[in-house]
Amino acid sequence: MMDKASRLKVALQKSGRLTDNSLDLLVRCGLKYSRGKDQLLCYGENMPLDLLLVRDDDIPDLVQQDVCDLGIVGLNVIEEKRLAFQARGIAPLFEQLQVLDFGKCRLSIAVPDGAKYDGPASLRGKRIATTYPNILARYLRENDVTAEIVTLSGAVEIAPRLGRADFICDLVSTGSTLLANHLREAEMIMESRAAIISTPVAVSAEKQAWIQRLRMRIDGVQQVKESKYIMLHAPRAKLADIRKLLPGSEAPTIVPLDGAGDKVAVHAVCRENVFWETLESLKGVGASSILVLPVEKMLA
């Protein structure tokens, strides 16, 4: 194990939409951790890695200032901070390492039910409430629209009802928050997912090696999520039809079956989910004894 100074520090959201998925990802990468009394620091017991639990907005700054080596945060926050740094003449120094498969949402313009909206020109001269003033400003600039940006730190969706804004620009996933606030999504500005960012400062060879290991494990974890191992028996003559039906599979392993005539066993890793319809189609072209198993770990 490395000494304290050379332990990797990873910033995660303390409590919110990204927290459970971020911790779950690291646990799937093999991390065992214990949580400190203050609930702000988690100590990695089997890896030289500690977790700092903070507000998501602070994560790019912590990485930029080299307080943390890595951070897991939404692309929406990364982009907003990048533009904010640029606006202040500071070069954004954190590097985006890997996009993750959770925290999927979009940043959209929403308008009150019944309000007219015919494209970006409808925003002209309006007041738009948002937590993402820099992304919104860029969007307005690109669309040649002048509007007033009302920057709020939360509860953006109630701004139109309070008379503070005409429209809003906020995160949407299922759309239920908009629905509950009598708003409708009018325009998508950006799509977002969680991502890993890293420090701009050169780290020790030891730390770099752990970052590489972690990235490889994260790739493996993300790949197996949808992957299945499929085993079936089939007449050799039907192999071409069967291969066409296996979703996202590489060359399958074909094993002869003792005393079963021209029948073979087919084993394949499918990189996409295997649905009942696929199994029915496989059976339809002559496959039998079909088994679908989850894949726990994969290293390319």
Ligand X SMILES: O=P(O)(O)OC[C@H]1O[C@H](OP(=O)(O)OP(=O)(O)O)[C@H](O)[C@@H]1O
Write out the residues near ligand ATP by the rule CB under 6 A: 13, 16-18, 55-57, 74, 76-77, 103-105, 171, 173, 192
Among 163, 176, 237, 277, interactor with ligand X by CB under 6 A: 176
Q: Which is nearer to ligand ATP, 47 or 105 (CB)?
A: 105
173 lies in the binding site for ligand X (CB under 6 A): yes
For tokens 């701009």, name the residue: 200
Which residues within the stretch 22-61 sit at the binding site for Mg ion (CB under 5 A)? 56-57
172 lies in the binding site for ligand X (CB under 6 A): yes
Q: Which is nearer to ligand ATP, 170 or 229 (CB)?
A: 170
69 lies in the binding site for Mg ion (CB under 5 A): no
Start-to-end CA distance of the chain, whole Å, equals 26
Choose among ligand ATP, Mg ion, ligand X, none what residue 74 binds, the Cβ cut-off being 5 to 8 Å by kind.
ligand ATP
What DSSP designation does 187 have?
Answer: E
Nearest approach, Cβ of 235 to ligand X (angstroms)?
48
> Long-range contacts for 121-126 (Cβ within 8 Å, ≥24 apart)?
121/145, 122/186, 123/147, 123/167, 126/165, 126/166, 126/167
Q: Where are the alpha helices (DSSP H) in 38-92?
A: 59-64, 75-87
Nearest 5°: CA angle at 117, between 113 and 121? Answer: 150
Nearest approach, Cβ of 172 to ligand X (angstroms)?
4
Which residues within the stretch 11-70 sit at the binding site for ligand X (CB under 6 A)? 17
Separation between Cα atoms, residue 74 and residue 60, nearest integer Å: 10
Q: Which is nearer to ligand ATP, 192 or 199 (CB)?
A: 192
Choose among Mg ion, ligand ATP, ligand X, none what residue 175 binds, the Cβ cut-off being 5 to 8 Å by kind.
ligand X
Q: Which residues contact 39 (CB under 8 A, 6 or more apart)?
A: 14, 53
Find out whether 184 and 178 touch, Cβ atoms under 8 Å.
yes
Separation between Cα atoms, residue 212 and residue 39, nearest integer Å: 27
Nearest approach, Cβ of 6 to ligand ATP (angstroms)?
28
Q: Footprint of ligand X on this chain (CB under 6 A)?
A: 17, 154, 157, 170-177
